[in-house]
Amino acid sequence: MANQRTGIPGPVTNKGLLSTTVDDASIQAAIQPWIGMEFYQLSRGKQVAQVDILDLGSQQIVRESQQASVQKLGATPSDLCTVSYCTLDPTFRFSDHIAGDSDTLFFMPENTEFDIFVPAGVQTTYVTFSQKSFLEGVRTLNPSDWDRAPQKVLSIHAAHKNALREIIDPRLTLADTSAAPEVSPDMSAIYGLILQTALQLATATRPGDLKPSPMERSRAFHICRMARTFVEDSLAVNVVPTIVDICRCVGTSERNLQYAFRAYVDMSPLAYLRLCRLNRVRAILRASDPQTTTVTSVAMQFGFLHLGRFSLDYKRVFDESPSVTLAS
């Protein structure tokens, strides 16, 4: 049922989410007021798009499944940048960029005019961030490439783009309740996880670059011991540190941290951090009463929001399920 004044279809809401089918391109723009823009329908179709939105206040997550082709024109406001991706289509255009392959991400900075063509059948997803916060993060991870704030849309090759999709998609799915997380984490946890994943993708170091020499091992050991201490101290007070936090504490870039951890434990710092978190969960489960503690609550306490993957990783490392650990 449409609102008499705006014509906006009545949304389906669940846990703070909004999901709606729009039949007018102007409505598709109106329900995204954080960016000033105009939509123009360019192909035939009674229904223009299915739009799913999660508004976290300081961050918005939007997925648009186009049923009719549209052109989007507008400009980002100050201190708002976006990271976006789309399903692959050779005619999709983001200003002067195309989605060259399935691993393409787009970064759009603040105060940037855009002109986007989205063909019918394409699904686009974008996340908004405070540009100040985003730039602080990427400059900590990769200061050389992000020393200057971008002045236009960037196309980024992100080999692990699905890591972002796997966080976002379950939280934008309303119709299929079985796809929803087992327990809804607080909004700040979702925000932090999405931001850190986007930062990682925007600054990812190519695997071929990771070739530490013997002369780097002494410095690598010092860096990693500092990082290890910081991680242990953080987890001990139930704080999940990020790679940005570690780089800031140690005083190094993500690239140097990658080199160091390859020499230290032959894995990436992100993989090492995940294992530290898994070990911390195991220690708590072993010491807890199964009558008053749940696996889900402990897992989420240490940032494991994808519970199915957490259980698989836990069993792969410890050769038993987390529920068995808690019960023993």
The domain that contains 22 carries what CATH number?
2.60.120
At 183-221, the pLDDT tens digits run 455 667 778 889 999 999 998 754 444 444 555 567 887
Query: Is residue 3 in a domain?
Result: no
pLDDT-derived band at 170, boundaries 50, 70, 90: confident
**pTM of the complete model beyond 0.85:** no
Token pair recorded at residue 258: 């990658």
Alpha helices, DSSP H only, in the chain?
A: 25-30, 131-141, 162-171, 187-202, 217-236, 243-250, 254-265, 269-287, 295-301, 307-318, 322-327
What percent of the chain lies above the pLDDT cut of 70? 87
In a shared domain, residues 85 and 228: no
CA 250-252-256 angle, to 5 degrees, is: 120
**Cβ-proximal residues to 281 (8 Å cutoff; 6+ apart), any chain:** 298, 299, 302, 304, 314, 322
Evaluate whether residue 94 is within a structural domain. yes
Does 248 lie in the same domain as 295? yes
Q: What pLDDT sits at residue 36?
A: 93
User: What is the average pLDDT score of the chain?
Assistant: 85
pLDDT of residue 63: 96
CB-based burial label for 85 (10 Å; 0-12, 13-18, 19+): buried
pLDDT over 50 at 176, yes or no: no
Q: 182 lies in which domain range? A: 12-200
180 and 211, same domain (yes or no): no
Show which of 158, 174, 200 is a domain's final residue.
200
pLDDT score at 267? 85
Compute the Cα dihedral for 234, 238, 244, 245 and give only its sign. negative
68-97 pLDDT, tens digit each: 999 999 999 999 999 999 999 989 999 988
How many structural domains are present in the chain? 2
Domain assignment present for residue 299? The answer is: yes
- Same domain? For 220 and 116 the reply is no
Q: Is residue 1 part of a domain?
A: no
Under the banding of pLDDT at 50, 70 and 90, the label for residue 101 is confident
Q: Average pLDDT for residues 47-51, to the nearest whole number?
A: 94
Q: Using DSSP, state whether 315 is helix, strand or coil.
A: helix
User: What is the 3-class SS of 230-248, one letter each residue?
Assistant: HHHHHHHCCCCCCHHHHHH
Residue 309: exposed, middle, or buried by beta-carbon count in 10 A (0-12, 13-18, 19+)?
exposed
In a domain, 2, yes or no: no
Cα gap 58→60, rounded to integer Å: 7
The answer to whether residues 80 and 174 belong to one domain is yes
